[in-house]
Amino acid sequence: RNEVSEVRLRLKRHESDMKSAPEAVSRLFRTVGVVGAGQMGSGIAEVAALANLEVVMVDKTDQALASGLQTIRESLERFVEKKALSNEQAQEAIRRIRVTTHLKEMADRDFVIEAIGEDEELKRTIFNKLDRITPKHAILATNTSALSITRIAGATKRPEKVLGVHFLNPPAIVKLVEITKGMGTDYDTYHATKELVESMGKVTCTSADRPGFIINRILMPMINEAFFVLMEGVSSAEEIDLGLQLGTNLPLGPLSLADFLGLDVCLSTLQSIHKGTGDSKYRPCPLLVQHVDAGKLGRKTGCGVYTYFTSGEKE
């Protein structure tokens, strides 16, 4: 009985901590910066704004920023249509997002997350600039899904305040966020970031700084093998997806998922893991490479493994 009482007491304390966490986090992080207004950057900005944080989203061009804001508006409208948000909540979220083409606007941010493409040198350049622009207390995060956090942090003079915060696509829908600690990431940075992400309504998992981290280290080889099976004529794309979807209870087959993620993204992630591990089991399938070389990148180009209508539905 004493043991049961102790467990119940701990659960009550945990529930109390969870209820007070958003308020504590809001005092620590009031302002968030997002570098990149693409699919991931705009999605992360949306999630942060819905968590009552003031957001600045930066990109190189006004066109990219306008496109990012439109993506956010369309996503919020869908939530309103589904009765998940009120129209007032959606409008308030939009008002919390400010856009700019000037990286120097990150000068007052408490937390900045970079969400550009998987180009390590460009990320290092951005982090070097952010290190000089942002306050000394600011945490700098990258949304990379495979690149070394330690190498990116090496471009700054604050490696202890750098870590990976990998939102999955689409950020507003997928519940999980993968947090990766670099070699220099300190305890306070990790735990403050974890609390911030959880205050946004997300669930976190934590990875060491290894190529592909957790999710892509497992997911990308499955997608790659599906391309090998297709290339070798073992079965059709439809049958491969059907088998995996129903046979393993996946919401989407691996080839359909690859089209959704972008075949270029899948290829670059596999190349990064292959280079980082030196293991031939991560060698990209030649058929995947051919699709990317042909510009058949999936849903975003209207053609990948499958062909798509403008609505995004398969032909």
pLDDT value of position 27 = 53
148 in catalytic set: no
42 in catalytic set: no
143 in catalytic set: no
List 42, 75, 145, 148, catalytic entry: 145
211 upstream amide cis, omega within 30 of 0: no
pTM of the entire predicted model? 0.86
178 in catalytic set: yes
CB neighbours of residue 256 within 10 Å: 25
pLDDT tens for the 315 residues of the chain, in order: 444 444 444 444 444 443 444 444 445 788 999 999 999 999 999 999 999 999 999 999 999 999 999 999 999 999 999 999 999 999 999 999 999 999 999 999 999 999 999 999 999 999 999 999 999 999 999 999 999 999 999 999 999 999 999 999 999 999 999 999 999 999 999 999 999 999 999 999 999 999 999 999 999 999 999 999 999 999 999 999 999 999 999 999 999 999 999 999 999 999 999 999 999 999 999 999 999 999 999 999 999 999 999 877 888
List 42, 54, 178, 291, catalytic entry: 178
Angle, CA 201 vertex, CA 195 and CA 203 arms, to 5°: 70
Token look-up 């009482």 returns 5
List 42, 75, 207, 216, catalytic entry: 216
List 166, 207, 256, 291, catalytic entry: 166
pLDDT value of position 115 = 97
